[in-house]
Structure 1
Amino acid sequence: MPAVGGEPIRLEQHSRHQELLQLVTPMSWLGTRGARREGFDALARAVDTVATAATQAGGLLTAPGLSLDGSVVPLDGDTHWLEATDPVEQEVLCNLLRRHSPLLIAIAGRGSFVPGGRRDRIGSRWLADSREHLAARFLASVSQRHLYRVQAELRRRDGISHLDRMDVAPVVGDGTVLVRCLDAQVSLAETRAHVLLLSALALRARALVKEGRREGHVPQRLLEENRARAISDGLRAGLAEDRRPRDRDRDRHDQPARNQNPQERKVPARQAVRVLLDDLVPEFSRLDATPEEILPLLCLVELPGGQSLRAQDLFAQSGRSGRVPPETVREMLTDSRPGGPLLDAVLAEYPGSGQLMMKVWREALESGVSLRARRDRDRAPAPSSGRQDQRRKARADGRRGRPAGPAKGGKQR
């Protein structure tokens, strides 16, 4: 098997589904374009090796939940591990990922696909059918004593005592964070984009720790309701906001909103994902990300007409005759280019708006300033001189019917 950073990629059989295989990559640093190119090129070669072996054995390689001949292929998830520098960062990262877990589910969730069959419009078929996933719990600490209490609470309430059954969980002893709420993807380009998204959130957690800040506690009931909506409806879901004030100013401004009907305070998941991606522009920039690399994320929220495009949708286009060519599936799983075939499809289907979207995000990533911050900066009024302020005040006083008095420190005419 090809190696990443000197360590080989392992091929393992799935513990519950004998027909599924898993490729396990070693822990590696992916903070630059070169490192990501090396890592995903090696992963593409590993997948291609498995595809060749399957063909020689008389079989076909496909992705979880993607049926080529009408047979049922089980769905599964992509498991990610993120390394933290210390227990405090591990705790903040766990809670930050917990808060965004409904959005992560909406981003990566997908339904099963059978050529010629009815489209599965569920947000995440894998999580909807799973009995081995729990919503993440807020962690006040990642000390062994506190985690023991969390395990005891899970055992008492849910009959499960393993932390790794949660969507996001700390790995005791090695300082890593386990993320297991993302559906398995059908292309390397989508997996690459998800790796960048998780890496950006890890950088955000590190920045919070350096500033001496922690991640707040989102109410568990609110989190689980939003999680259920994301699993059911994906990007079509309406997610309730956490409207609790966090400081005095927010309390003053949000007081009327808290008295409204909670159903009137839902935010479309698509809008929330767009805000999240824009908010993470500084972190994407620090990772030296390109718009091509995060294109699978942009295709969910930035295409014209509110359209969303995933790699799985390309199979529907190529399989209109009732059968997806195995070569198309193999290309998706082995194309390590940033954006992959999805980039080609976007530029072909949306030639004008697609190029504009790439241009806008390229400028944002190169500057490291979010689109919202750039808009606010451009709308800010230009600073005026002291004489201009005096003239404006005099005109205002004249409109009010008062004589224009002298400006402070000026001379009266």
Structure 2
Amino acid sequence: MGAARQALAKGLMVQGADPAAVLAAVSRSGLPSLGGESIRLEQHPRRQELLRLTTPMTWLGTRGARREGFDALGYAIDMVATAARQAGGMLTAPGLSLGGSAVPLDGDTHWLETADPVEQEVLCNLLRRHSPLLIAIAGRGSFVRGGRRDRIGSRWLADSHEHLAARFLASVTERHLYRVQAELRRRDGISHLDRMDVAPLMGNGSVLVRCLDAQTSLAETLAHVLLLSALALRARSMVKEGRREGPVSQRLLEENRARAISDGLRAGMVEDKRPRERERERERDRDRGRREHQVRDAPPDERKIPARQAVRALLDDLVPEFSRLDATPEEILPLLCLVELPGGQPLRAQDLLTRSAGNGQALPEAVRTALTDSRPGGLLLDAVLAEYPGSGQLMLNVWREALESGLSLRARRDHDRPPARSGSRPDQRRRGRAGDRRGRPAGPSKGGKQQ
């Protein structure tokens, strides 16, 4: 099975210059092409100071393809930065102010291509289940030079009135999606599916993901592309094996989503403690003729786990898919920096920019370098190896071994676990199950003879 084709709209912002003039200058120069099609630069439909670089649908299933694609994207961003400087302004990421006033926020939009409607349905529901973790991974607060640090999980989603939590889709047929639209219109006053965090696109068989904040470095965007590609590969495997993604309680999903937006990786995610038991109850009630939605809306038996722990478990679970994508630990380093660093505190590219501003360094140049550096890991790789020379390299080596083996940490533990000794007490008990506790043969039953 191959990886799905993907497209990306990278959010950018121009400060101190007319964005229309920057757009015209870049259009005259011509942006690089990718896969035979040119990268497009457009203005945000409602916020004219925001720009978006949109790539065509491209296959990014190998290291070489990702290197080629992100080299072209980095070159295109550098062209926009040069045009902004020539116009007397600066290029930054949305929500990243190099002056002293707040600036608008935006997100990075992703599209994932699917092979058929069944895969589109499974991928939508799989991304829906993990959408709170995706928000916690990609969310960031706004940055204003000289201002107080914003510790919110996702400032963009917290201030947005155009985002809804994704709904479970039992089907992606036009008739079913029409019913979903009618329900959104009745309950939320919105009749467009593309207002959800994850939405199917009718006609072209793609899945829209619009819950990831615009990143301040190209390395983080590459890591998010790999994460979404791994989830798409997982959905393709599920379809091949005849499995589907079951429903998650909408109340539970929206609660976790709100926690991720508010607290990010500091949040405590609520999960169902007994999903198998609830599934058995659902099957029993279905056999009795009860309606399914009455069981699905029942309050789950819940417990909380830290968001960092849930993200760590997700990354470990996706090791087989990362391995099929020929991913390197440097490419997913921005994800590892959220959960694997020795200090226990997540490290993002925006934190490095904050340090540059505190040290009196040239912040505009640091921002431009982060946005245009297409190396796997980028500035985060340099910072990790400098701050954690021993443990940082050990972390990379451990994940390199895992990616080469294609086995998750749990699978590697089971694989390396020594077999049980033949003379151990558990084996004796199993062999003597018909006898007494010491494993001696049982006596004759009533009315029978001892053999």
Q: TM-score, normalised by structure 1?
A: 0.90
Aligned pair in 2 of structure 1 residues 393, 146: CA closer, same or farther (>3 Å)?
A: closer
Shift of 1:116: 2.5
- Equivalent residues of 2:319, 2:403 under 8 A apart: yes
2:60 alignment partner, one of 25, 30, 46: 30
Aligned pair in 2 of structure 1 residues 382, 263: CA closer, same or farther (>3 Å)?
A: closer
Q: Give 1:289's aligned residue.
A: 327
Q: TM-score, normalised by structure 2?
A: 0.82
- Equivalent residues of 1:135, 1:224 under 8 A apart: yes
2:106 maps to amino acid: D
Q: Give 2:3's aligned residue.
A: none
Matched, 1:364 2:394: no
| Distance in 2 of aligned mates of 1:404 and 1:143 | 60
Q: Give 2:272's aligned residue.
A: 242
1:139 alignment partner, one of 169, 173, 197: 169
2:227 alignment partner, one of 179, 186, 197: 197
1:310 maps to amino acid: R
Shift of 1:402: 9.5
- Equivalent residues of 1:319, 1:325 under 8 A apart: yes
Shift of 1:242: 2.3
Q: Give 2:42's aligned residue.
A: 12
Match of 1:241, SS?
strand
- Equivalent residues of 2:141, 2:154 under 8 A apart: yes
Q: How far does the alpha carbon of each residue in 1:332-356 deviate from its partner, in whole angstroms, 9 at most, with x for none?
A: 0100000001100000011111011
- Equivalent residues of 1:68, 1:324 under 8 A apart: no
Match of 2:57, SS?
coil
Match of 2:343, SS?
helix
| Distance in 1 of aligned mates of 2:424 and 2:152 | 58
Q: Give 1:311's aligned residue.
A: 349
Q: Give 1:74's aligned residue.
A: 104
Q: Give 2:367's aligned residue.
A: 329
Q: How far does the alpha carbon of each residue in 1:310-341 deviate from its partner, in whole angstroms, 9 at most, with x for none?
A: 00000111101567521111100100000001
1:103 alignment partner, one of 129, 133, 139: 133
| Greater strand proportion | 2
1:207 alignment partner, one of 215, 234, 237: 237
2:143 alignment partner, one of 113, 137, 160: 113
Matched, 1:345 2:383: yes
1:382 alignment partner, one of 419, 423, 428: 419
Q: Give 1:58's aligned residue.
A: 88
1:301 maps to amino acid: V
- Equivalent residues of 1:315, 1:324 under 8 A apart: no
- Equivalent residues of 1:115, 1:322 under 8 A apart: no
Shift of 1:23: 0.3
1:116 maps to amino acid: G
Unmatched runs of 5 consecutive residues or more in structure 2: 1-30, 282-298, 442-451
Unmatched runs of 5 consecutive residues or more in structure 1: 252-260, 407-413
| Distance in 2 of aligned mates of 1:73 and 1:19 | 9
Shift of 1:17: 1.0
Q: How far does the alpha carbon of each residue in 1:112-166 deviate from its partner, in whole angstroms, 9 at most, with x for none?
A: 0112221100000000000000000000000000000000000000000000000
Q: Give 2:74's aligned residue.
A: 44
1:137 maps to amino acid: R
Q: How far does the alpha carbon of each residue in 1:170-223 deviate from its partner, in whole angstroms, 9 at most, with x for none?
A: 000100000000000000000000000000000000011011010010011110
Aligned residues: 392
Match of 2:96, SS?
coil
Q: How far does the alpha carbon of each residue in 1:219-272 deviate from its partner, in whole angstroms, 9 at most, with x for none?
A: 111100000000000000011102353369988xxxxxxxxx989710111000
How do 1:371-410 residues align onto structure 2 when only pairs under 5 Å count? 371-379=409-417, 381-384=418-421, 388=423, 393=428
Q: How far does the alpha carbon of each residue in 1:369-404 deviate from its partner, in whole angstroms, 9 at most, with x for none?
A: 01121123223x32545xx469x859x99xxx9999
Aligned pair in 2 of structure 1 residues 244, 173: CA closer, same or farther (>3 Å)?
A: farther
Query: Relative contact order: is structure 1 or structure 2 higher (C-alpha 8 Å, sep ≥ 6)?
Result: 1
How do 1:163-202 residues align onto structure 2 when only pairs under 5 Å count? 163-202=193-232
Match of 1:265, SS?
strand
Aligned pair in 2 of structure 1 residues 378, 56: CA closer, same or farther (>3 Å)?
A: same
